[in-house]
């Protein structure tokens, strides 16, 4: 269900509040571009700084706006297991198709603690779960052998893997039947080559059709076409992580007129030092790859 292209959608903000109008506009833009799944309230959605009411507002809006056209899997993880369970129950209550549960941050749990955390969430809420491993954000790495221990739990169906290691992805694909998803846009094609089945993307805000074509080309054995698309997208991908995500992608979306360039403290907008690099990549990329508002150029063909 969670295979293919999904987007870790940003949370548009204006004057310190969630901008519902911009969120609707962005959802429609991404649906037009062929996005198959939405993950609100995650890292890119600044979920850690959303209030409980804002979380409810964003999830409800994404679920209602995408109904029947894409799946929705909100970020529900925190550094507290009880809060994670509460957030995951809320996602289920609001009609989400699943939940994205990040490894607990700051606490630095052991592998045994990580296993106990995910098992507690899985047993408490009857909802498909995507386990999210992103050591650069959490300071802990969920090891493949720990994932293998969790894999028999029926609620755990997928892993968003963002450790940056193809060895680790290979071990995950060899050791489980779970759906492994790229959490690093620059590694999507290499991860597909060792067994991953899709990507939870930041780049997909801008080039959804091109990413879908790359995935489809790989699956069809058209490896030269897949490599060409990967190479063309790569410079923009790297520019989107020149500073802490989601500052660069929010800057890019604002430049396209879709949202305001506003983040919630302690994050701040993209610096003047790095803004020209993102602008240059937006200007450089082929117009058939960049999905502009009101354009069908980015849609999957």
Is 254 exposed, middle or buried, given 0-12, 13-18 or 19+ CB atoms closer than 10 A? middle
| Contact present, 258 and 29 (Cβ < 8 Å) | yes
For residue 42, give the nearest of 81, 74, 84, 83 by alpha carbon: 74
- Residues of the chain short of pLDDT 70, as ranges, are 295-301
**φ, ψ dihedrals at 12, nearest 5°:** -65, 140
The strand pairing partners of 181, in sequence order, are 160, 198
Residues with a catalytic annotation lie at 132, 160
DSSP state of 270: P
The whole-model pTM stands at 0.95
Distance between CA atoms of residues 91 and 73, nearest Å: 8
For residue 182, the cross-strand partners are 161, 199
DSSP lists the bridge partners of residue 17 as 14
153 three-state secondary structure:
coil
**The tokens of 172 are what?**
């995950």
Q: pLDDT tens for residues 33-72?
A: 999 999 999 999 999 999 999 999 999 999 999 998 999 9
Q: Which domains does the chain have, with CATH numbers?
A: 4-284 (3.20.20.70)
- Nearby residues of 240 by Cβ (< 8 Å), 6 or more positions away: 185, 202, 203, 206, 248, 249, 252, 278
DSSP string for 25-80:
HHHHHHHHTT--EE-TTSTTTTGGG--HHHHHHHHHHHHHHHTTTSEE--B---SS
Q: Note the pLDDT of residue 297.
A: 42
């Amino acid at each position: 269900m969670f295979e293919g292209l999904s987007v870790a959608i940003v949370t548009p903000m204006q004057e310190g509040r969630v901008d519902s109008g911009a969120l609707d506009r962005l959802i429609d833009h991404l649906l037009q571009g062929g996005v198959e799944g939405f993950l609100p309230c995650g890292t890119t959605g600044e979920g850690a700084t959303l209030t409980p009411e804002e979380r409810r507002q964003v999830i409800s809006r994404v679920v209602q706006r995408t109904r029947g056209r894409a799946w929705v899997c909100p970020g529900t993880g925190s550094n507290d297991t009880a809060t994670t369970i509460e957030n995951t129950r809320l996602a289920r209550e609001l009609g989400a198709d699943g939940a994205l549960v990040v490894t607990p941050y700051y606490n630095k749990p052991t592998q045994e603690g990580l296993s106990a955390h995910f098992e507690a969430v899985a047993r408490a809420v009857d909802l498909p779960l995507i386990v999210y491993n992103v050591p650069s954000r959490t300071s802990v790495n969920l090891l493949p052998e720990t994932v293998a221990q969790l894999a028999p739990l029926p609620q755990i169906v997928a892993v968003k893997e963002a450790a940056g290691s193809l060895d680790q992805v290979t071990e995950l694909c060899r050791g489980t039947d779970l759906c492994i998803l790229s959490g690093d846009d620059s590694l999507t094609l290499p991860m597909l080559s060792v067994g991953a089945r899709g990507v939870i993307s930041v780049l997909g805000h801008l080039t959804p059709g091109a990413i879908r074509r790359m995935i489809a080309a790989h699956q069809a054995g058209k490896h030269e076409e897949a490599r060409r698309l990967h190479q063309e997208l790569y410079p923009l991908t790297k520019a989107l992580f020149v500073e802490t995500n989601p500052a660069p992608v929010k800057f890019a979306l604002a430049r396209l007129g879709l949202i305001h360039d506003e983040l919630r403290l302690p994050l701040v907008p993209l610096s003047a030092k790095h803004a020209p690099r993102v602008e240059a990549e937006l200007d450089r990329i082929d117009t058939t790859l960049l999905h502009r508002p009101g354009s069908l150029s980015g849609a999957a063909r």
